[in-house]
Amino acid sequence: MTELIARYWTFAREHYQRDGKPTAEIANIHDALKPVERRYGDELAAEFGPLAFKTIRAELIKAGLARSTIS
């Protein structure tokens, strides 16, 4: 997962820009990737399934992020 996260982060920083500056979306992506890296960084991306997703979603909700934005 670490490699996948790193590649996506590189893409996101380039893609989510307006007038050469990062958009607010990049902060949301960063917040979403942190618990994935922490919990599943050493696992293969192919092993990240629905249960892992639900675990991460629960962590984001517990952290106080709006459930409507992380469904």
pLDDT digits (tens, 9 = 90+) for 50-65: 999 999 989 988 888 8
Domain count, the chain: 1
Whole-angstrom Cα distance, residue 68 to residue 71? 6
Whether the predicted model's global pTM rises above the 0.95 cut: no
pLDDT at 45: 96
Look at residue 14 and tell me whether its pLDDT is greater than 80: yes
Sequence-separated (6 or more) residues with CB below 8 Å from residue 61: 67, 70
Q: Which domain holds residue 32?
A: 2-70
Q: What is the mean pLDDT of the chain?
A: 91
